[in-house]
């Protein structure tokens, strides 16, 4: 590569850099974060910490109203279904990347408003977190950005 080719390459990168930083990098971050949160959701936990078990999957449970141990009569799909999936599985499928919001720290969103209540634990709902900033997620994002920058500079 001679000096003219190098100069042209640098000029091209300078012209594309704003697009890369405004579009490509946020989209990549949002995608890997959404994938990570979906994996947490499917693993029924957050970063390896399992959610509290639900009564419908236990053999016996303590009644919230009477305080007595009761036999669980749930059967079929209800007894086997993963936590928070409900009959439709809408909450897990609602986790989507949103690159437009990545600058505000919300690169991933759920179209289901009740997802926040489960994620944070509000009212009578126990906390069953599946989304949030962690060192593991930061590492995943860092690796993805490294990959995207290498692709950008080697084009």
Nearest to 107 by CA among 7, 49, 19, 25: 25
Q: Quick one: pLDDT at residue 105? A: 64
Average pLDDT over residues 113-132: 91
Sign (positive/negative) of CA torsion 9, 13, 14, 15? positive
Q: Quick one: pLDDT at residue 103? A: 58
Q: Is the pLDDT of residue 101 over 70?
A: no
Alpha helices (runs of H) in 50-134, residue ranges in sequence order: 77-80, 90-93, 114-120
Residue 72 tokens, joined: 């669980």
Helix axes 135-153, 3-19, angle to 10 degrees: 140
What's the pLDDT tens digit per position in 33-46?
999 999 999 999 99
* 3-class SS shares of the chain: helix, strand, coil, % to 5: 55, 10, 35
Average pLDDT over residues 125-139: 93
Alpha helices (runs of H) in the chain, residue ranges in sequence order: 3-19, 25-42, 77-80, 90-93, 114-120, 135-153
Measuring CA to CA, how many Å separate 12 from each of 2, 5, 71?
Answer: 16, 10, 69
Q: What's the CA dihedral at 84, 86, 92, 94 to 10 degrees?
A: -130
Q: What is the DSSP letter of 88?
A: T
Q: Is the pLDDT of residue 78 over 90?
A: no
Q: Quick one: pLDDT at residue 102? A: 61
């Amino acid at each position: 590569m001679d000096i003219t080719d190098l100069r042209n390459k640098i000029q091209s990168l300078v012209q594309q850099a704003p697009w890369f930083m405004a579009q490509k990098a946020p989209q990549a971050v949002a995608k890997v974060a959404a994938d990570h949160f979906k994996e947490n959701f499917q693993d029924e936990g957050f970063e390896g910490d399992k959610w509290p078990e639900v009564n419908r999957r236990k053999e016996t449970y303590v009644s919230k109203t009477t305080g007595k141990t009761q036999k669980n009569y749930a059967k079929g799909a209800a007894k086997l279904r993963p936590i928070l999936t409900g009959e439709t599985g809408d909450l897990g499928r609602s986790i989507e990347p949103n690159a437009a919001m990545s600058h505000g720290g919300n690169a991933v969103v759920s179209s289901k408003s009740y997802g926040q209540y489960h994620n944070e634990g509000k009212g009578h709902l126990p906390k069953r977190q599946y989304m949030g900033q962690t060192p593991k997620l930061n590492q995943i994002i860092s690796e993805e950005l490294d990959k995207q920058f290498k692709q950008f500079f080697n084009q």
